[in-house]
Amino acid sequence: MISKILRKHISLSDEEAKKMDFIADSLVEKNKLLNLTALTEPVDVAMLHFYDSLTVLDGEMLAKTSKKQVIDIGCGAGFPSLPLAVSCPESHFTLLDSTAKKLSFAEEMKSALGLNITTLAARAEEVSHKAEYREQFDIATARGVARLNILCEWALPFVKVGGVFVAMKGSNGKAEADEAENAVKTLGGRIVAIKSVEIPLSEHTHTLIYIKKEHPTSKEYPRENRKIQKKPL
């Protein structure tokens, strides 16, 4: 029961604990059929998936009573979005991934737990040019996925002016932020905070990079993925 581990480090209601246990148990079981995660030990799942995801919670940005539109880019098996959707039921989460089979797990969790989520099987650099998604989100998240100078071109076009992109990176997050300075500015953003997060019961230090959207993103971005990869901003 991963909630017992989590509750030693964060506050969870009984309902939240029950839902997170269900997701964790289902993840490990589903992983036998689909390659959803390399982490299956309870402590690793609890801390490196669930605790890590919940570090995005911020009273000024995303709180349990928030009513935000959030997009999780390259969500994979659903982290950070599934734990956040449990903790923030008033917010709506769009889970974006180019691999439809990974989204099937999130759909199962939605049906079983009544989570306020929508899944979207698409490529970020293509779908963000569509009016119904472009600059429509209060918050974008992405955990890992790509280097920040590339990731910004995928993420910032989704964020409305005044909104925030939270990039969840590893211990080298500050270096990636420095590297991405031009990309952030070109795409209409500004790095407003960089927070180092120690993950309990592990040797991991993660970095949260908060990028505020201050100006609309030029319609020329994002470019085709081959151009983004070949010549990052």
**Average pLDDT score over residue span 125-144:** 95
Residue pLDDT, tens place only, 55-66:
998 767 887 778
- The predicted-structure confidence for 151-177, as pLDDT tens digits, reads as follows 999 999 999 999 999 999 988 888 999
Sheet strands side by side (includes 159-169):
117-121, 92-97, 69-73, 137-143, 159-169, 205-213, 189-198
3: pLDDT strictly greater than 70? yes
Backbone angles phi, psi at 109, to 5 degrees: -70, -35
28-56 residue pLDDT tens:
888 877 777 776 688 888 888 999 999 99
**Number of residues assigned to the chain:** 233
CB 141 within 8 A of CB 116: no
Closest CA to 49 of 13, 21, 88: 21
Q: Which value, to the nearest 10 degrees, does the dihedral of the CA atoms of residues 18, 103, 66, 43 take?
A: 40
Q: What is the pTM of this model?
A: 0.94
d(CA 229, CA 233): 9
- Residue 175, SS3? helix
Residue 6 identity: L
Interior/surface letters 188-220, b for 16+ CB within 10 angstroms, e for the rest = bbebeebeeeeeeeeeeebbbbbbbbeeebeee
Domain ranges of the chain: 58-230
Using a pLDDT cut of 90, give the percent of the chain over it: 75
Q: Which CATH superfamily is domain 58-230 in?
A: Vaccinia Virus protein VP39 (3.40.50.150)
Residues 6 or more apart in contact with residue 131 via CB below 8 angstroms: none
Q: What is the pLDDT of residues 66-97, one digit of tens each?
A: 899 999 999 988 999 999 999 999 999 999 99
Q: What angle is formed at CA 151 by the lines to CA 218 and CA 153, rounded to 5 degrees?
A: 10
Q: Which stretches within 31-143 are classed as H helix?
A: 42-44, 52-54, 81-87, 100-113, 124-127
Q: How far is Cα 19 from Cα 54, in angstroms, rounded to an integer? A: 14
- Average per-residue pLDDT in the chain? 92
